[in-house]
Chain A
Amino acid sequence: MAQLTYLEAIREGLQLEMRRDPSVFVIGEDIGVHGGAFGITKGFLDEFGPWRVIDGPLAETANVGAGIGAAVMGMRPVVEMQFADFVTDAMTQVVNMAAKFHWRTRHPLPLVIRMPYGGDIKGGPFHSQCMEAWFVHTPGLKVVVPATAEDAKGLLVAAIRDPNPVLYFEHKHLYRYQREEVPEGDYVTPIGQARVVREGTTLSVFSYGWMLHKCLEAADRAAVEGVAPEVVDLRSLQPLDREAILASVRKTGKALVVHEATRTGGMGAEIAAIIAEEAFDSLDGPVMRLASKDTPVPHSPVLEAVYQPQVDEIAGAIRRLAAY
Chain B
Amino acid sequence: MAAIRVASAQGETLTASELLEMLYYMRLQRAVEDLGIKLYYQGRIPGAYFTGRGHEAITVGATYALGPDDLIAPMHRDLAAYIMRGIPVRRVFAQFLDREGGLTHGRDGNIHMGDPGLGIFPFISHMAASVPVAAGMALACRQRGEARVVLTFFGDGATSTGAWHEGVNFAAVFRLPVVLVLENNQYAYSTPLDRQTAARSFVDKAPGYGIPGVGVDGNDIGAVFAATREAVARARGGNGPTLIECRTMRVRGHSEADRYDYVPKALLDEWTARDPIVLFERRLGEDGVLTKEASRAMEERIARELDAGLAWAEESPEPAPESVSDGVYAEPGEA
- Which residues of A come within 8 Å of B, CB atoms? 25, 51-52, 54, 56-57, 59, 61-75, 77, 89, 92-93, 96-97, 100-110, 139-140, 142, 162-164
- A105 interface neighbour in B122, B136, B143, B150, Cβ under 8 Å: B122
- Give B110-133 interface residues, CB cut-off 8 Å to A: 112, 114-117, 121-122, 124-126, 129, 131-133
Structural contact, A62 and B143, CB atoms closer than 8 A: no
Closest A residue, CB atoms, query B163:
A61
Using A61-B163, A62-B132, A75-B140 as known contacts, say yes or no to A69 and B121 having CB atoms under 8 A apart.
Answer: yes
Q: Which residues of B contact A64 (CB under 8 A)?
A: 132
Q: Which residues of A contact B329 (CB under 8 A)?
A: 102, 140, 142, 164
Structural contact, A59 and B116, CB atoms closer than 8 A: no
Instruction: Enumerate 26 A-B pairs (CB-CB under 8 Å) in ascending A order.
Output: A25-B143, A57-B166, A57-B170, A57-B173, A59-B170, A61-B167, A62-B169, A63-B170, A65-B131, A68-B133, A69-B135, A69-B136, A69-B140, A70-B137, A72-B136, A92-B163, A93-B132, A93-B163, A102-B327, A103-B107, A104-B122, A107-B116, A108-B335, A109-B330, A142-B329, A163-B333
Q: Which residues of A contact B149 (CB under 8 A)?
A: none
B141 within 8 Å of A (CB atoms) = yes
B293 within 8 Å of A (CB atoms) = no
Complex Cα–Cα for A22 and B325 (A): 33
Q: Which residues of B contact A103 (CB under 8 A)?
A: 107, 327-328
Write the nearest CB–CB distance from B114 to chain A, whole angstroms.
6
- Which residues of B come within 8 Å of A, CB atoms? 103-105, 107-108, 112, 114-117, 121-122, 124-126, 129, 131-143, 150, 162-163, 166-167, 169-170, 173, 325, 327-335
Using A72-B121, A103-B107, A108-B335 as known contacts, say yes or no to A96 and B136 having CB atoms under 8 A apart.
Answer: no
Q: Which residues of A contact B140 (CB under 8 A)?
A: 69-70, 72-75
Structural contact, A107 and B117, CB atoms closer than 8 A: yes
Using A59-B169, A104-B108, A108-B334 as known contacts, say yes or no to A73 and B328 having CB atoms under 8 A apart.
Answer: no
Closest B residue, CB atoms, query A49:
B143
Structural contact, A105 and B129, CB atoms closer than 8 A: no
Structural contact, B330 and A61, CB atoms closer than 8 A: no
**CB-based closest 8 A-B pairs:** A69-B136, A65-B132, A108-B335, A66-B136, A73-B140, A62-B166, A163-B330, A163-B335
